[in-house]
Amino acid sequence: MPNDKEKEFVKEIPSKKDNFSDWYTSVVLKAELADYAPVRGCMVIRPYGYKIWENMQSLLDRRFKETGHENAYFPLFIPESFLQKEAEHVKGFSPQVAWVTRGGDEDLTERLAVRPTSEAIICSMYSKWVKSYRDLPVLINQWCNIVRWEKTTRLFLRTTEFLWQEGHTLHRTREEADEEAIKMLNVYVDFVENEMAIPLVYGRKTESEKFPGALHTYSIEALMPDGQALQAGTSHNLGQFFSKAFDIKYLDDDNTEKFPWGTSWGITTRMIGALIMTHGDDKGLRLPPRIAPVQIVIVPILFGKDDDKVIAKAKEIYEVIRKDYRVYLDDRLEYTPGWKFNEWEMRGVPLRVEIGPKDILKEQVVFVPRDGTGKKFIKEAELKDSVGKILIDIQNNLFNSAKQVLRSKISEASTIEEFNKKIGEIPGFIKVFWCGSQQCENELIDKTKTTPRCIPLDQKIKGKCIICGKETETTIYYARAY
């Protein structure tokens, strides 16, 4: 019989379909990914959740270094005068900035912002380091924490403090900067789709939605099962705005001084929230193998007879696969196999391997993939090869399932009436033609209570603007969003 602790852990969570918000919070807490901190709007990322972030860091960092970027670190505190140098930038962040006004027992002569983003402090250093065209490009990334004073918070999705990476680069020309911004957008697409198994739409933001101080902003947009979009990452061509504000100049090979062109790009811990919502089910998490802290859990089936043989065989299996995969052998005697099944399903481990007395006699193991494709009986001699194949299948199955959901929630509309009807029936992305005017954008936002998400980079067909009817080649995705 399960004890009280067992009963509490395997207690039913709310239905994902019927109560999406409570389901999400319950999974975050019960899978021990994070917990509420005693500081308003902040969270504690627990070890299991932090391992997901570490795996994300490792996979992204490899991509950054393969594209020539190096890691550095810059101060958490930013002098107010630095933020004030770029007016549009400070205006965009002003409502969310946390300020330090005292140091110890003394009032500060100048307020310090607690890092809401790092363009100002990094550009102040670039103005010292960049003097010649030989110093370009500058390709730097940092992994750090960010503070934005949010009014409404939700674990992982929107918190006062969160973790992220932010790339900051400088280039000789506008074309090089835009090439960099789009390159990093594609790095994010590759990472999110291939490692996290989350399908995306992506493209350029409208002028009203771009990053404060940017020339262009590009974004990757994921769609959650409740039909709301989640901005999963952004990449910005900053133009020369910050170079001019911080007097970053270089002597070009034609012996004239010029301002370099900048970019910045970032992805945050909110992606863990996207991971939970995209793949989770009524049993808890379902993690893609490439990002999962534990890829395989081995559970020996113990009946009180021949237990030593079963545990010995489980350890043998563990030794066979542990060098190539992240494996956990759950040989705890104080919990029943059924309770362990529930625990590891809640935690989203991609593959459970069961071994019991009958399996030993048949020289087999039992595979139970978390993607729901059903039990598989595998000969022990084929174990190593079979593990690799089934983890690939699980990764692909999760992506294909999510992609099917995304496709089913993308609609097109040519009138406001059609737009509102479709988003009411199938919440998701609505793709429309748009003339590019701010007036038409504002009217569409007002009449549909949605926001523009992104303009696809490849525009090949013509149509009429959903508001004014003007012929245009620009299509854009709208949605309600987190």
Per-residue pLDDT for 384 more than 70?
yes
Between β-strands 70-71 and 138-147, what pairing exists: parallel, antiparallel or unpaired? Answer: parallel
Q: What is the pLDDT of residues 230-284, one digit of tens each?
A: 999 999 999 999 999 999 999 999 999 999 999 999 999 999 999 999 999 999 9
Average pLDDT over residues 419-438: 97
Full-model pTM: 0.94
- The answer as to whether 291 is a domain residue is no
**Do 123 and 255 belong to one domain?**
yes
* pLDDT of 427 above 90: yes
The rounded percent of the chain whose pLDDT value lies above 90 is 91
The pLDDT, as a whole number, for residue 151 is 86
**Does residue 221 form part of some domain?**
yes
Residues 317-322, mean pLDDT to the nearest whole number: 96
Question: What digits encode the pLDDT tens for the residues 12-39?
Answer: 799 999 999 999 999 999 999 999 999 9
In a domain, 91, yes or no: yes
Query: Could you tell me if residue 9 is inside a domain?
Result: no
Here the tokens at position 11 are 């207690």
Q: Tell me: the pLDDT tens digits for 40-89?
A: 999 999 999 999 999 999 999 999 999 999 999 999 999 999 988 877 76
Q: What is the pLDDT of residue 131?
A: 97
Structure tokens at 217: 């902003």
pLDDT of 240 reads 96
Q: How far is CA 196 from the centre of its chain?
A: 8
The pLDDT value recorded for residue 358 is: 94
398 assigned to some structural domain: no
Alpha-carbon radius of gyration of the chain: 26
Is it the case that residue 360 has pLDDT exceeding 50?
Answer: yes
Long-range contacts of 38-42 (CB under 8 A, 24+ apart): 39/160, 40/153, 40/160, 41/149, 41/150, 41/153, 41/159, 41/160, 41/161, 42/159, 42/160, 42/161
267 with 313, same domain? no
User: Cα torsion for 226, 269, 146, 478, to the nearest 10°?
Assistant: -30
Q: Which of 340, 361, 390 is the last residue of a domain?
A: 390
Asked if 320 and 188 sit in the same domain, the reply is no
User: Are 122 and 217 members of one domain?
Assistant: yes
Residues pairing with 145 in the sheet: 163
Residue 180 identity: E
| Backbone dihedral angles phi then psi of residue 339, each to the nearest 5 degrees | -65, -40
Return d(Cα 249, Cα 257) in angstroms, integer.
6
Is residue 3 in some structural domain? no
| CA atoms of 131 and 117, how far apart (whole Å) | 25
Which of 356, 390, 424 is the last residue before a domain boundary?
390
| Res 161 pLDDT > 50 | yes
Q: Does residue 441 have a pLDDT over 80? A: yes
Mean of the per-residue pLDDT values of the chain:
94
Q: Are residues 195 and 152 in the same domain?
A: yes
Torsion of CA 188, 189, 190, 191, to 10 degrees: 50
Q: Is the pLDDT of residue 193 over 50?
A: yes
Residue 25 lies in a domain: yes
Domain count, the chain: 3
Check pLDDT > 60 for residue 415: yes
Residues 274, 332, single domain; the answer is no
CATH of the domain at 192: 3.30.930.10
Residues 120 and 210 in one domain: yes
* CA dist 114 → 81, 161, 170, 202, 233 (Å): 13, 10, 24, 30, 22
User: What stretches of 67-213 show up as alpha helix (H) in DSSP?
Assistant: 80-84, 87-93, 119-129, 174-194
Residue ending a domain, among 361, 390, 419, is: 390
**Cα–Cα nearest to 411, from 395, 427, 391, 388:** 427
Average pLDDT over residues 106-119: 95
State the Cα–Cα distance between residues 59 and 57, nearest whole angstrom: 6
Residues 340 and 435 in one domain: no
**Judgement on whether residues 257 and 333 belong to the same structural domain of the protein:** no
Q: Residue 53 in contact with residue 163, Cβ under 8 Å? A: yes
pLDDT at 85: 86
Distance, CA of 264 to CA of 254 (rounded, Å)? 27
**Distance from C-alpha of 453 to C-alpha of 209, rounded to nearest angstrom:** 8
Is the domain of 346 the same as that of 208?
no
pLDDT for 7: 47
Distance of CA 18 to the CA centre of its chain: 25
Over residues 171-184, the pLDDT tens digits come to 999 999 999 999 99
* Residue 13 counted as domain residue: no
Query: Which CATH number fits the domain that encloses residue 354?
Result: 3.40.50.800
6: pLDDT confidence band, cut at 50, 70 and 90?
very low
Kindly list the distances between the CA atom of residue 438 and the CA atoms of 206, 208, 441, in Å, as whole numbers in the listed order. Answer: 9, 8, 5
Average pLDDT over residues 100-112: 96
Residue 304: predicted pLDDT: 79
First-to-final CA distance of the chain: 42
Q: What range defines the domain where residue 188 resides?
A: 19-279
Query: Does residue 471 sit in the same domain as residue 352?
Result: no
Q: Are residues 364 and 453 in the same domain?
A: no
Residue 8 has what pLDDT?
52
